Copies of this chain bind each other. A is one copy, B any other.
């Protein structure tokens, strides 16, 4: 894990709502964008923004199926991030 990615992940975790979104995604094998939208009291644009931030940080994988977007947590990246933190 590069220093750049490490700090990207740290920044992304700074927003409580975004962290909740990440936890929601992590609570199932794969999450649908529309389901996330129905669970969080924010606009579709804001949800899209947060998902982009998570994706840019490398924390999630996304795949499109027709109009629908499916998201899953990249467990290996998450583990690497925790390993890095535990070096403090």
Residues of A in contact with B (beta carbons under 8 Å apart): 7, 10-11, 13-14, 16, 19, 22-23, 26, 73, 78, 82, 85-86, 88
Contact B23–A88 (Cβ < 8 Å): yes
A19: which B residues are within 8 A, CB to CB? 7, 10
Quick one: closest B residue to A73, CB to CB? B88
Contact A78–B82 (Cβ < 8 Å): no
Quick one: closest B residue to A22, CB to CB? B88
Q: Determine the distance from Cα of A13 to Cα of B23 in the docked complex, in whole angstroms.
A: 19
Quick one: closest B residue to A27, CB to CB? B88
A18 to chain B, nearest CB (A): 10
Whether A85 touches B85, Cβ cut-off 8 Å, given contacts A10-B13, A13-B10, A16-B7, is: yes
